[in-house]
Amino acid sequence: MKGFCIVNKPIGITSFDAIRQVKKILREKENIIEKKIGHAGTLDPFANGVLILAFGRYTKLFFLFDDMPKEYTALGVFGEMRDTDDVEGNIIKKSDINNKLSFEELEKIIKENFKGNILQKPPTYSAKKINGKRAYDLARDNQSFELKASEVCINSIELLEYDYPYFKIKTSVSKGTYIRSIIRDIGNITGNLAYTKELTRVSIGNYNINIACTIEDIEKTKYSHFLKCSMT
């Protein structure tokens, strides 16, 4: 097998779980044993959306996706800080204020602070490496460490909905940008604290969720139907 497949990863499984499920379907349904399967751009278990799978020698071409912008929608919740900065984490602090901004006030804060090149501190539970170890492994072992802020680029950001304590944004970002950090930092700037409740990757470059297949689609239809062998 060779080529790419644009999958809409469901909520509740890891990106590697998605690969394992596809491998199982290929083996049991089409008698295909493909050892070389990888993915571009990990999605957290609580997130859904575009996950690009590559097969065979196409796994060597993931670098082609590195500089492509990634678009997301995210639902944030004011009032709490969580250790993972998302809905799956433990509450570590609750806000003692309820700064119920207007839509226009929140929109202005977002546009003034989260556009263009910014310094962003990754979430404590992230894949960043410290002395060869992943930050999330150190955090789970209750080890103390400090993650340095790095420069990322937010191409665009828009406040879609706001009904306190919930707010929804749409953003296009560069490689290495954490949407959980954007939501967390919006909470910090407003004084409300915030975490990410829902996250969807809408696209990677021109590969949009509208053309993505589901794992259920692969079960029902011959897999080659979803295989793409070009970068156009």
Residues acting as catalytic residues? 44
- Give strand pairing partners of 129: 134
Q: What torsion do the CA atoms of 93, 99, 100, 102 make, to the nearest 10 degrees?
A: -130
What tokens were used for 56?
């065979």
Return phi, psi of residue 183, to 5°. Answer: -60, -45
- Identity of the amino acid at 189: I
